[in-house]
């Protein structure tokens, strides 16, 4: 069914090329996300997401990344200009979420398509994990990274529209797998032991889809803590709601002062509500 859906969507690129729009009121209390209907007025949407090649947008994104990762989370980013930037930026697609009321950039992630990996010198995640298992994946891969949300907009709506646009990108670009790192900041008061245990119990991939961390968790001497309810970082929670698998134990990233989990999202596991939304123009 997904293959048929992808073919139909590709035939309607012009209809789907416009940014996704989403309002906070359309977020269900249970955490399920509803994207604004395709035939509603664009002015009704609070947030929009689109890929940008603008140098100005990329610099603004690098500034937002620095604010979140360095100023909030304490990452050791050596930049005299207050920008988080690295060698991967020039090879990536840059996905921007804007507040349509203020024009401010409120969310961001970057995408490294498989065909650009050779030019970038490899995946960013390869610096933290042995990614040998990727060789057995059948289909195109893209890596996401540096995902961040403005501190004033972490209510779920921005993450929802960001992931909706990523889901559309997967289908449009015939990407079968998204990979990347989901982080748990070590200075944000999270119960790391409880998060690790919950992932081990409910979200680990099959054994043949595991990666090996360069700096494994046992070096941090984290104990076991079983809880019925576990507070997770919003982005990690969003990945898991989208059906992402966690491919093994986390890696300690001392530069960014966090634990990184390697995640794998397959198009086959994409929630049906996203696929149904992309097919909506066919019914108009």
- In terms of Cα–Cα distance, which of 176, 158, 183, 168 is closest to 51? 168
- 192 in Cβ contact with 249 (< 8 Å): no
DSSP annotation of 184: E
pLDDT in tens, 73-123: 777 777 778 899 999 999 999 999 999 999 999 999 999 999 999 999 999
What's the whole-model pTM score?
Answer: 0.78
Higher pLDDT, 39 or 185: 185
Q: Percent of the chain scored above 90 by pLDDT?
A: 52
Q: What is the mean pLDDT of the chain?
A: 80
pLDDT in tens, 137-163: 999 999 999 999 999 998 889 998 998
User: 9-18, 116-125, 161-170: which range is least confident on average?
Assistant: 9-18
- Measured CA to CA, the distance from residue 108 to residue 248 in angstroms comes to 26
Per-residue pLDDT at 16 exceeds 60: no
Higher pLDDT, 16 or 200: 200
Q: What is the pLDDT of residue 69?
A: 87
Structural tokens at position 185:
């900041």
Higher pLDDT, 72 or 274: 72
Per-residue pLDDT at 132 exceeds 90: yes
96 pairs with which residues across the strands?
50, 108
Q: What is the pLDDT of residue 269?
A: 83
Per-residue pLDDT at 22 exceeds 90: no
Q: Percent of the chain scored above 70 by pLDDT?
A: 76
Q: What is the pLDDT of residue 96?
A: 97
Q: For 85, list phi and psi in degrees, rounded to 5.
A: -145, 150
Average pLDDT over residues 249-254: 91
- In terms of Cα–Cα distance, which of 178, 145, 194, 182 is closest to 258? 182
125 vs 132, 213, 214, 232, 253, CA distance in Å?
Answer: 12, 10, 10, 21, 11
- The residues spanned by each domain of the chain are 2-283
Q: What is the pLDDT of residue 228?
A: 59
Provide the CA 170 distance to its chain's centre, in angstroms. Answer: 12
Q: What is the pLDDT of residue 225?
A: 53
Q: What is the pLDDT of residue 76?
A: 75
User: Vertex 180, ends 144 and 140: CA angle to 5°?
Assistant: 70
Per-residue pLDDT at 29 exceeds 60: no
Q: Which CATH class is domain 2-283?
A: alpha beta
Q: What is the pLDDT of residue 33?
A: 31
Q: What is the pLDDT of residue 278?
A: 57
- 246 in Cβ contact with 203 (< 8 Å): yes
Higher pLDDT, 160 or 175: 175
User: Vertex 51, ends 117 and 26: CA angle to 5°?
Assistant: 125
- Measured CA to CA, the distance from residue 197 to residue 226 in angstroms comes to 7
Q: What is the pLDDT of residue 226?
A: 56
Per-residue pLDDT at 40 exceeds 50: no
Per-residue pLDDT at 282 exceeds 80: no
């Amino acid at each position: 069914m997904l293959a048929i859906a992808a073919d139909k969507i590709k035939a309607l690129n012009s209809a789907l090329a416009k940014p996704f729009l989403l309002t906070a009121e359309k977020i269900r209390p249970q955490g399920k996300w509803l994207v604004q209907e395709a035939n509603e007025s664009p002015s009704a949407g609070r947030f929009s997401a689109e890929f940008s090649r603008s140098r100005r947008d990329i610099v603004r994104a690098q500034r937002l990344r620095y604010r979140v990762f360095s100023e909030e989370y304490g990452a050791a980013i050596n930049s005299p200009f207050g920008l988080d930037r690295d060698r991967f930026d020039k090879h990536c697609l840059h996905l921007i979420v804007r507040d349509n009321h203020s024009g401010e950039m409120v969310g961001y992630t970057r995408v490294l398509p498989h065909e650009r990996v050779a030019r970038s010198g490899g995946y960013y995640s390869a610096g933290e994990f042995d990614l040998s298992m990727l060789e057995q994946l059948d289909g195109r891969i893209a890596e996401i990274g540096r995902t961040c949300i403005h501190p004033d907009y972490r209510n779920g709506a921005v993450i929802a529209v960001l992931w909706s646009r990523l889901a559309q990108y997967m289908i449009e670009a015939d990407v079968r797998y998204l990979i990347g790192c989901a982080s748990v900041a070590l200075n944000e008061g999270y119960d790391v032991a409880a998060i690790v245990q919950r992932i081990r119990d409910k979200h680990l991939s099959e054994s043949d889809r595991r990666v090996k961390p360069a700096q494994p968790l046992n070096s941090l001497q984290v104990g076991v803590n079983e809880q019925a309810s576990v507070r997770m970082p919003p982005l990690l929670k969003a990945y898991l709601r989208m059906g992402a698998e966690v491919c093994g134990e986390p890696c300690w990233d001392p530069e960014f002062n966090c634990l990184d989990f390697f995640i794998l999202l397959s198009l086959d596991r994409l929630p049906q509500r996203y696929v149904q939304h992309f097919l909506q123009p066919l019914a108009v």
